[in-house]
Amino acid sequence: MTDQAPPCVVVLFGPTALGKTAIATALAERLSAEVVTADSMQVYRGLPVLTNQPPEAERARIPHHLVGIVEPWEEFSAAAFAAVATATIDEVLARGSRVVVEGGSGLYVRAALGGLSFGPAPDTALRQHLEQRLAADGLEALVDDLRVADARVARHTDLRNPRRVLRALERLLLKTVDAPDGEEDRLWLPGARYTHALVVLEAERVWLRQRVDERVGEMLAAGALGELRAVLTRGPLSRTLQQAIGVRELTAHLEGTLSLEEAAARMRARTRQLVRRQTTWMRKLPSTARIPVTSRPAAAVADEIASLLDRAIAGGSP
């Protein structure tokens, strides 16, 4: 070890179902840190099982921030998250603690670190028009419009994600840009607010697929259906929360259009698709520490990361 200061923020990034939360908690214990969760769904109250929020036992051991801070009917954007995340990190650092940022969304992790730019508020009438067209004509119609409007933007947009397509088309129609083309899918760009170290958590595909299947079963056994039923009695969910894996599948079951087995199968399929997108995107990250997680206890992974950080400091790495 040397007298060089360690990075004040450590970022754990990896695909869903990997066990990031347990690893982040164990690492935070070793670093005398607090955890900031960078997740677009875990910010919502009322669905802790379905959105896979940190268990109460882990939150009792180590403070976890930005979990369950928004009502399920409220819209909450990446721009709003950036504001509350940076304020939270600043407050934790001011107390003399370090921060472990944990997440699987590149946009929300980047928003937590600062450095993203966001454009003006959306045009409400235009947003409503596009949403009505999406409901009436389907996603492919909006995709066709986006390709006609700007083929290059379309190539950098996840065309299977209705909200991404709608947002890209909205920006083009308003002739505004909130970030350079493709920036939402590139995590490490100049301008981050904090000195940080990025750790990518990786796992073997077969093991991760098994974990996805197990997680869906665990969610259902832990009461995901009941908590969704209770939340739906309070009113319609926000557009963002409606995209959470399990919401539309279990809602269809509650409405009688899917059996519970069919809903669970669709949840597993959607989660596997998300994992593939996350894994593909992670391969593009430059100059990161990559830690294998397959079949390893969270404590062992946390020990390896802490040791890696110590060696990096001793060697003079940033």
pLDDT at 47: 96
CB 184 within 8 A of CB 106: yes
User: Hey, where are the domains in the chain?
Assistant: 9-116+195-314, 124-182
pLDDT at 100: 97
CATH number, domain 124-182, options 1.10.20, 1.20.272, 1.20.1050, 3.40.50: 1.10.20
Residues of the chain below pLDDT 50 = 1-4, 176-185, 318
pLDDT at 105: 81
Judged by DSSP in three states, 68 sits in coil
Q: How far apart are alpha carbons 150 and 77 in whole angstroms?
A: 24
Q: How far apart are alpha carbons 181 and 212 in whole angstroms?
A: 32
pLDDT at 153: 81
Encode pLDDT of 96-141 as tens digits.
Answer: 999 999 998 887 888 898 866 555 555 677 777 788 778 877 888 8
pLDDT at 286: 65
Q: How far apart are alpha carbons 239 and 257 in whole angstroms?
A: 21
Q: Among 194, 188, 193, which Cα is nearest to 98's?
A: 194
pLDDT at 131: 85
Token pair, residue 227, equals 């908590």
Q: How far apart are alpha carbons 41 and 47 in whole angstroms?
A: 9
- CATH code of 9-116+195-314, in short, is 3.40.50.300
pTM for the predicted model, two decimal places: 0.78
